[in-house]
Structure 1
Amino acid sequence: MKNFLVKTIANAAALAVATWLLKDITLTGENTGRKVLTLVLVALLFGVVNFIVKPVVKLLSFPLFVLTLGLFTLVVNALMLLLTSWLAGKLDLSFHVQGFWTAVLGGLIISIVSWALHVVLPDDRD
């Protein structure tokens, strides 16, 4: 449970950094509390998308991973971010990613920030 909480907090922080750095990733809300709640919900949604959809996409596109020496991961991360944005819209969450290239940059930022936070934050593995 602690590991799940750490991953959700790291994802929420990474999404916040991407929202702060890129003007085409938007998070709207009336107040700070609403924005934080939306970030946490989007982070949970992003975690579910990465847990369920990403392995299937990676398996089906394995030849592209080999051919591009892993750089296709950037495209897959962008697609997961776009899917999260689409699902957030369907769930009436005020999070939106506009455009593929914004999603590529956002996915890169989210990956770097999540990795850094997972290094710093504790989890339940000993």
Structure 2
Amino acid sequence: MPSRLKEFLKRWVITTAAVLVALYIVRGISYETIGGLLVATFILGILNTLFRPLKIFLGIFTLGIFTLVFNALLLYWVGSLVRSFHVDSFKAAFWGALIISIVSFILNIITGTGGSQIKVRKQAPPPAPPPPRHDDGGGPVIDV
């Protein structure tokens, strides 16, 4: 299997899992058939791939807020394109997009998909501070 196809299938499975989590958390997002859910997540994945450069470019200037709004618009649009997948309002799409983003991020880290990785390195502890110096007992020392 070509690596690009394998990568796309991994992302599709992750997106589908994330959408399923959003379905159970956010009121106003639903599906009638598993086929409808799979088609909706497939289209969502394709649209995310097509618009990713634009989302990243505009997200930089808006500190990521635009990315969330854009994802909500895509989710809302997919809800109108796929008959057996429903997104009732932009509010539901917004909260759904937030949940999908968070779950996808976590699943991408766990699976190593999409370049999201966490590396843990163990370093040597910092050196201990030097012990305090004690005078011969005469009080403060002033160097001239």
- TM-score tier, shorter chain, comes to 0.7 to 0.9
Change (3 A) 1:65 1:122: closer
Q: So what's the TM-score if we normalise by structure 1?
A: 0.75
Q: Deviations over 1:3-58 (max 9, x none)?
A: 111101000001111111112001113xxxxx2x3322211110111122454466
Q: Aligned residues, how many? A: 111
Q: Classify the secondary structure of the residue corresponding to 1:69.
A: coil
Task: Name the residue aligned to 2:16.
Answer: 12
Which letter maps to 1:22?
V
Partner of 1:70: 64
Gap runs ≥5 in structure 1:
30-34
Q: Which has the higher helix share?
A: 1
- In 1, Cα distance between equivalents of 2:44 and 2:112: 21
> Against the structure 1 CA distance between its residues 84 and 72, is the aligned structure 2 distance closer, same or farther, given a 3 Å change threshold?
same
% of aligned pairs identical?
35
Provide TM-score, normalisation by structure 2: 0.67
Read off the aligned partner of 1:99 and give its amino acid letter.
S
Q: CA RMSD in A?
A: 2.3
Answer with 1 or 2: which has the greater Rg. Answer: 2
State the secondary structure of the residue aligned to 2:82: helix
The structure showing larger relative contact order (alpha-carbon pairs under 8 Å, at least 6 residues apart) is: 1
2:18–2:103 CA contact under 8 A, matched in 1: yes
CA shift for structure 1 position 65: 5.3
5+ long unaligned stretches in structure 2? 116-144
